[in-house]
Amino acid sequence: MKEKIEALRKEIEQLNYLYYVLSKPEVSDYEFDMKLKELERLEAEHPEFFDANSPTQRIGSDVNRTFTQVEHQYPMLSLANTYSAGEVQDFFERTRRALNEDFELVCELKYDGVSISLIYEDGILQQAITRGDGERGDDVTANVRTIKSIPLKLYGNDFPKQFEIRGEVLMPWKVFDELNHERAEQEEQLFANPRNAASGTLKLQNPAIVSQRSLDSYLYYLLGESLPADGHFENLAKAREWGFKISNAMCKCRTLQEVFNFIEYWDEERKNLPVATDGIVLKVNSSRQQLNLGWTAKSPRWAIAYKFKAEQAETRLNSVDFQVGRTGTVTPVANLEPTLLSGTTVKRASLHNADIINALDIHIGDMCFVEKGGEIIPKITGVNRKARFLPGEKVKFVENCPACGTKLQRSAGEATWFCPNHYRCKPQIKGRIEHFVSRKAMYINIGEETVNQFYNIGFVHNAADLYSVKPSDILCLERWGQKSVDNFIESINLSKSVSYERVIFALGIPEVGETIAKRLANTFHDIDSLMNATFEQLISVGDVGTVIAQSVLDFFAEKSNRKIVERLKSYGLQLSLDQAVLAERTDTLKGQIFVISGTFFKHSRDEYKAMIEKNGGKNTGSVSSKTDYILAGDNMGPAKLGKAKSLGIKIINEDDFLKIVDLSTADFKDDNLLF
């Protein structure tokens, strides 16, 4: 009987693959259902042969689950967006110059769904993780197992023992329409678009309901130590053989014209697809070349996303609000007559700044042109003056802060107005607290609504006050139960172990993002050193210019900020660099300035940059008389080579460098580099 059950399972898995992945059904739906029912009957009669990966388990259990957070082995970074042919050409030329050798680009459709990471071991699906904040996401394995286009067991035997594959979970247009029709009949709130519906479905606590939503998937990126080929395109072709749903709308391009042909074709043809797309992704095909191009702090240099031209809608302007951000910037936001745009209902749109408002000559009641060109908040791009009838008041930028009444200021050469009352303006105070608790900062388990609640009640007036909030203070508040209180207190305690560089970022110093915070932490090993740093010391830090340096000085010149830091220190936050990290540092390259050029084989450029900094050296992008070494790989740029020789700068290769810092290939590997 075991053989019969296993044979039936294998047959149904093959039929599933043909139907959901290849779209080539070999039997009728009725015949398929009968085979599945027969398998269900046999498994019920012989529970000793239970298999969690059986096709019958796709329906999901109705047991409620809570999602646990899981660290990504490779961070899921986002792609840099482009919106014009010129930007695509710039990317192509940058890549050509950086590699200085022939290369191929893979063009793919950019599916508008929910990013997912799938982990396989020995050909079995082990875990499915959402993008989350890029560093860690939710474990949604139970829900993903219900998606029939995602294989639970792979075909063949030539797949790596352990690997990761990434892609998008999608809700097809047909399923989306049917779901919204059902919700309308039950007088439930409708989903705005398929992406929101897919995201909401994937986060449901009941996998049995998820299985009824008919989610789909496309996979587009393979990660692991023993991949079949150097080529991204070739790896995905092999993944298709293993049973993954890989888009056929994918091709290799060697010329810019081939890329433009692909974009032009799919800009129109995508409207006939069964799922939502919002652009094209371009990736360098070779993994070796990807490694040499490296990554920025937010995205890979070897890939970009080209976003299709935004759709436009026309609707009426009802009013304008002026919002104050955490750094004091005042932003005008238009309140519109609701209109459908790119699959979503738009009620608000950005008016950007005073200059754009004046250029638009916009009045209350005007019919406006609205676009959603890659922005979270849509933007007003024009006014239909022919439709203007009995115009209302002309929109003018406010002169005083709408929150505290302070006269607004504008820096020379800047388009934005800001409120200079940084430490007494409520939206700015609350904005800094919201930034402090955010995922990429201290990751404290409250959001904007709770920060607002705590502030209005008087529990918190700054970030340090969060650490003095007692469980008894909030247990009696609306929507706060014992579990919510416990989660908050736990996150407060966990935040005390957040790394020093993230604490610097969490402080909300204007102009200091994640990368700059890390640079400052690596130079000033404790907060006292940073607070007392001089302008000259600050601008000597890599990537820190005069604007950032002055911003840091101004921030710590404010007595209230120093007081907050001292309080955070007393609560036990990490305000110095970890001793283990410091112990690994050396002065081997102290005072030495490096320029890295060419393509490498043992490590990526980013890894070599990290090694240089770890050993006390400094990286620069251009060759000058101050440069001490050129770390040269293959195909070094001739201009840099010529200048280096003319200046008598020492040129070393990978092996020379590794001997200098006394590191072998196995000693150093930066995994914080993949999206």
Using one digit for the tens of pLDDT, what is the confidence trace for 245-263? 999 999 999 999 999 999 9
What is the pLDDT, as a whole number, of residue 660? Answer: 87
What is the pLDDT, as a whole number, of residue 439? Answer: 83
Q: Within 13 Å, how many C-alpha atoms sit on residue 293's CB side?
A: 27
Beta pairing class for 330-341 and 367-371:
unpaired
What is the pLDDT, as a whole number, of residue 61? Answer: 41
CATH number at 80-304? 3.30.470.30
What is the pLDDT, as a whole number, of residue 342? Answer: 62
CATH second-level architecture of 426-495?
Answer: Orthogonal Bundle (1.10)
Render the burial of 327-340: b for 16+ CB within 10 Å, e for the rest: bbbbbbbbebeebe
> Coil, helix or strand for 214?
coil
What is the pLDDT, as a whole number, of residue 188? Answer: 63
> Coil, helix or strand for 169?
strand
Task: Look up residue 450 and give its two tokens.
Answer: 């709770």
**Residue in 612, 621, 615, 623 with CA at minimum distance from that of residue 650:** 623
What pTM was computed for the model?
A: 0.58
Residue 596 φ/ψ, nearest 5 degrees: -105, 130
Distances (CA, A) of 292 to 93, 100, 187, 523, 633: 16, 11, 55, 26, 9
What is the pLDDT, as a whole number, of residue 29? Answer: 55
Task: Look up residue 264 and give its two tokens.
Answer: 């032009």
CATH second-level architecture of 2-59?
Answer: Orthogonal Bundle (1.10)
Instruction: Give start-end residues of each CATH 1.10.287.610 domain in the chain.
Output: 2-59
Query: How many secondary structure helices (H) and strands (E) does the chain include?
Result: 25, 20
Collect the ranges in the chain with pLDDT lower than 50: 59-65, 374-375, 664-675
What is the pLDDT, as a whole number, of residue 25? Answer: 63
Under CATH, what is the fold of the domain 500-582? Answer: DNA polymerase; domain 1 (1.10.150)
Distance CA 192, CA 171 (A): 12
Distance CA 659, CA 647 (A): 24
Instruction: Give start-end residues of each CATH 1.10.150.20 domain in the chain.
Output: 426-495, 500-582
As a residue count, the chain comes to 675
Catalytic positions, written as ranges: 110
Instruction: Label residue 517 exposed, middle or buried (CB < 10 Å: 0-12, 13-18, 19+).
Output: buried
Task: Look up residue 167 and give its two tokens.
Answer: 């892609």
Express each pLDDT in 410-457 by its tens digit.
Answer: 987 778 899 999 989 999 999 999 999 998 899 998 988 999 999 999
Are the beta carbons of 437 and 453 closer than 8 angstroms?
no
What is the pLDDT, as a whole number, of residue 333? Answer: 93
Q: Is 586-667 in CATH node 3.40.50.10190?
A: yes
What is the pLDDT, as a whole number, of residue 545? Answer: 87
Residue 397 φ/ψ, nearest 5 degrees: -70, 140
Task: Look up residue 15 and give its two tokens.
Answer: 């039929």
Instruction: Give start-end residues of each CATH 3.30.470.30 domain in the chain.
Output: 80-304
What is the pLDDT, as a whole number, of residue 247? Answer: 94
> Coil, helix or strand for 442?
coil
What is the pLDDT, as a whole number, of residue 343? Answer: 60
What is the pLDDT, as a whole number, of residue 431? Answer: 93
Are the beta carbons of 113 and 170 closer than 8 angstroms?
yes
Are the beta carbons of 335 and 112 closer than 8 angstroms?
no
CATH pick for 312-387 out of 3.65.10.10, 2.60.40.10, 2.40.50.140, 3.30.2270.10 = 2.40.50.140
Task: Look up residue 330 and give its two tokens.
Answer: 């005042």
